[in-house]
Amino acid sequence: MSTSLPVHHNPVDDFLRMDRIPHIWCPGCGIGTSVNSFARALVDGNIDIKNLSIVSGIGCTGRVAGYVNLDSFHTTHGRAIPFATGLKLANPKLNVVVYSGDGDLFAIGGNHLIHAARRNVDLKVVCINNLIYAMTGGQTAPTTPGEVVTSTNPYGTFDSSFNLPYLVEAAGAVYVARWTTFHVRQMARAMQEMFSKKGFCFLEVISPCPTLYQRRNKMGDGLDTMIYYKEHSKVKNGCPTQEVALSKGGEIIVGKFVDRERADYRDLMHERMHESLGESYVEREACECEI
């Protein structure tokens, strides 16, 4: 009689390039947890992965593009959004996801992100915010809260940090949410909601960096951070985004903050082309669709 335990298939494995596993992320890092939630969103949302593309920039989170078994593009530092914009406009049927970190998206890539939100380009942006430049040595980032110790501010930061939900809402995003890597089900649900929404959608995922952020600030390891997220997070769906700024040791307000309707960039562009060129443009567009 066999005593071996049955082997159960993990549905997440289907979305990973298993030949590239094990990954390079540090123990306790939350990026892998976010990828698990992303895969669950694809399964539960019945997303057509043949019409799905992931674009990332540089940094720890940028490695996601190399680990997922999907059409993915690992672009240059800060340039994930313009690359994704071109991809979406060239092939509108694609679901284009930008999966990158806070440094890549809001520092060198901040200008691109603001204008993509302003134009309401139909992109799904997942920002893994570990509050620091992790891959390059733990420097202060635009998201680092005040008084946090970093390699470039060994006596604590003193400049104010970006409130990401507030920034992207002001720029024009139609969907804005924030969860931590403790809130795996809520995170997956938010990702699924973004796929059903047309326009610029933004999800901030607060994630630990035990090697640099947590260690330097004496916050323990990855498990300690999960406990911290559980105890300090407060769900406030619909909370005004100007009230959700982060602080060292303070409350983490999570939830869905913005869900509104606005014409997206491609529809506005086609409307203007139709007004300018009339029937000739409509006929040409119909021919291109048939091709």
Q: What CATH number should be reported for the domain holding residue 157?
A: 3.40.50.970
Q: In this structure, is residue 4 part of a structural domain?
A: no
pLDDT at position 283:
59
Q: Identify whether residues 245 and 117 lie together within a single domain.
A: yes
Q: How confident is the model at residue 277 (pLDDT cuts 50, 70, 90)?
A: confident
- Between 227 and 286, where is the model more confident? 227
Q: In this structure, is residue 138 part of a structural domain?
A: yes
Helices (H) and strands (E) in the chain, counts: 11, 8
Q: Identify whether residues 106 and 36 lie together within a single domain.
A: yes
The strand order across the sheet containing 252-259 reads: 71-74, 52-56, 95-101, 124-129, 201-206, 175-180, 252-259, 233-235
pLDDT at position 10:
80
Q: In this structure, is residue 198 part of a structural domain?
A: yes
Q: For the chain, first and last CA: distance in Å?
A: 60
pLDDT at position 285:
60
Indicate if the alpha-carbon torsion angle 242, 78, 71, 40 is positive or negative.
Answer: negative
Q: Identify whether residues 161 and 185 lie together within a single domain.
A: yes
Q: Which residues contact 57 (CB under 8 A, 6 or more apart)?
A: 75, 76, 77, 78, 79, 80, 100, 101, 104, 105, 109
Q: Identify whether residues 168 and 288 lie together within a single domain.
A: no
Asked whether the predicted pLDDT for residue 286 surpasses 60, the reply is no
Q: Identify whether residues 195 and 285 lie together within a single domain.
A: no
Give the DSSP letter of residue 49. Answer: G
- Percent of the chain at pLDDT > 90 equals 82
In one-letter notation, the amino acid at residue 199 is G
The count of domains in the chain is 2
Asked whether the predicted pLDDT for residue 275 surpasses 90, the reply is no
Q: Write the pLDDT tens digit of every residue in 107-145.
A: 999 999 999 999 999 999 999 999 999 999 999 999 999
Q: Identify whether residues 153 and 91 lie together within a single domain.
A: yes
Of the segments 13-27, 29-43, 277-291, which one has the largest average pLDDT value? Answer: 29-43
Q: Identify whether residues 149 and 280 lie together within a single domain.
A: no
pLDDT at position 271:
81
pLDDT at position 279:
63
Q: How confident is the model at residue 4 (pLDDT cuts 50, 70, 90)?
A: confident
Q: Write the pLDDT tens digit of every residue in 203-217.
A: 999 999 999 999 999
Q: In this structure, is residue 135 part of a structural domain?
A: yes
The tokens for 40 are 């669950």
81: closest CA among 50, 61, 51, 54? 54
**CA separation for the pair 125, 122 (Å, rounded):** 10
pTM value surpassing 0.85: yes
As a whole number, mean pLDDT of residues 38-43 equals 95
Q: Identify whether residues 291 and 187 lie together within a single domain.
A: no
Burial label for 184, CB within 10 Å (0-12, 13-18, 19+), is middle
DSSP letter string over 275-290? Answer: HHHTHHHHHHHHHHHH
pLDDT at position 68:
94
Q: Are 162 and 154 in contact (CB under 8 A)?
A: no
Q: Cα dist. 34→39, 119, 137, 174, 272 in Å?
A: 9, 27, 22, 22, 39
Q: Identify whether residues 59 and 153 lie together within a single domain.
A: yes
Q: In this structure, is residue 2 part of a structural domain?
A: no
Q: Identify whether residues 82 and 182 lie together within a single domain.
A: yes
Residue-number span of the structural domain to which 282 is assigned: 263-291
Asked whether the predicted pLDDT for residue 25 surpasses 60, the reply is yes
Q: In this structure, is residue 6 part of a structural domain?
A: no
pLDDT at position 289:
54
As a whole number, mean pLDDT of residues 263-282 equals 76
Asked whether the predicted pLDDT for residue 290 surpasses 90, the reply is no
Q: In this structure, is residue 1 part of a structural domain?
A: no
pLDDT at position 273:
76
Q: In this structure, is residue 129 part of a structural domain?
A: yes
Q: Which residues pair with 55 in a beta bridge?
A: 73, 98
**Mean pLDDT estimate for the chain:** 92
Q: Identify whether residues 174 and 134 lie together within a single domain.
A: yes
Q: Identify whether residues 25 and 144 lie together within a single domain.
A: yes
**CA separation for the pair 44, 182 (Å, rounded):** 19
